Amino acid sequence: MNNGFRISLLAALFAAQHAAAADKMDGLAACVKAAEYRLQDVKRWPAGMQYRTVETASGAEKVSVQDGLRALVFAGASVPTANLKIEQSAPAEFESDRKAIRAQMELLASRYRGNDKPMGLESAEAAGIEVLTLENPSYSPGHSVGMYTLLYPAGQTIATIYMFGQPTGEGSAYNNLEEFRAYRTRFLAAIGSCMQKS
């Protein structure tokens, strides 16, 4: 196989993979919108950028990104409930991406003190999706309440979610810790379901 043909073939394969990932991101966004949530300030992953870096206790680690999107999430309220980021890992790199992201969250957990108490990293798995959780034990309107990462090996997709406290009052998606946790459970389930469908 001559070099010119090889380069052309590799370029065509990369373009096809990127197009498939783009279709997946469009499908994910449409699915989230259909599940009672509104997305604003939607931004796609910049073309040509193939990875991002995360900080871990061992230093900076690369996380592959074939395509992705980020958006603010609203649920009837005028203030966003979450900052959502969904990414498609490069083929064959999902496992190394998962390890890097877990190491990043372990480092964040070691540094964080919520109400002067360490906030440990929690991990759970359901329906083929691993959920990593860093959650503040208290609730404060307008402040970050938790960080959640959903890892879906079958789709090689990763969702990172930062959730915020809502200002109290009528129209808010939730007004206290109990209501927040109920909303959080529904929202994470919706994101997980969309990752499986797309």
Provide the residue ranges of all domains of the chain, joining segments of one domain with +. Answer: 23-197
Looking at 3.40.1000, 3.30.460, 2.40.128, 1.10.3470, the CATH number of the domain 23-197 comes to 3.40.1000
> Residue 46 has what DSSP assignment?
P
Radius of gyration of the chain (CA): 18
Written as one letter, the residue type at 13 is L
- Contact (CB, 8 A) for 82 and 95: no
Place of tokens 């309220």: 77
Q: Which own/partner pairs from 175-183 qualify as long-range (CB within 8 Å, at least 24 positions apart)?
A: 176/139, 177/138, 177/139, 180/139, 180/145, 183/75, 183/81
Helices (H), the chain: 3-34, 94-111, 177-197
**pLDDT by residue for the chain (198 residues), tens digit each?**
444 444 444 444 344 344 445 578 888 889 998 888 999 999 999 988 899 999 999 999 999 999 999 999 998 777 899 999 999 999 899 999 999 999 999 998 888 765 555 567 899 998 899 999 998 877 777 778 889 999 999 999 999 999 998 888 777 888 888 999 999 999 999 999 999 987
**pTM score, whole prediction:** 0.84
